[in-house]
Amino acid sequence: MDPQVSPPVGRGKDKMVSGLLGIFLGGLGVHQFYLGSTMTGVIEIGVTVVTCGFGWILGLVEGIMILVMPDAEFNARYNQRTPASVEFVFMKPKS
């Protein structure tokens, strides 16, 4: 493991896995289900269905945002706490 990358703590969610899920399966909200935001995943599925597939853009953007997010912020948002049921990546988490 790269010494500069901090290992997952707490809930054990991996930044690379969630980012790649967002990029490749984001239209189905898979990355949100993985991170624990189940209602957000359902919303993303609905957006993809209603927009005839263009909702995948939201998942793509969120996947990229996860991958460029600093490790410390990712761990604070997704490993040291359980996200709210409706919490998009671009939203500031509630304390």
Q: What is the pLDDT of residues 14-73, one digit of tens each?
A: 999 999 999 999 999 999 999 999 999 999 999 999 999 999 999 999 999 999 999 999
Alpha helices in the chain (DSSP H): 15-25, 30-35, 38-50, 56-68, 71-74
All residues at 6 or more sequence positions from 79 whose CB lies less than 8 Å from its CB, including other chains: 8, 9, 10, 11, 12, 13
Distance CA 80, CA 25 (A): 24
Structural domain boundaries of the chain?
15-79
Confidence of residue 82 (pLDDT cuts 50, 70, 90): confident
**Most confident of the ranges 10-14, 21-25, 84-88:** 21-25
pTM over 0.95: no
Question: What is the CA angle 57-21-78, rounded to 5?
Answer: 105
Residue 2 has pLDDT above 70, yes or no: no
Q: Quick one: which of 90, 84, 71 has its CA closest to 26?
A: 90
- Kindly tell me the burial class for residue 33, based on how many C-beta atoms sit within 10 Å of its own C-beta (0-12, 13-18, 19 or more): middle
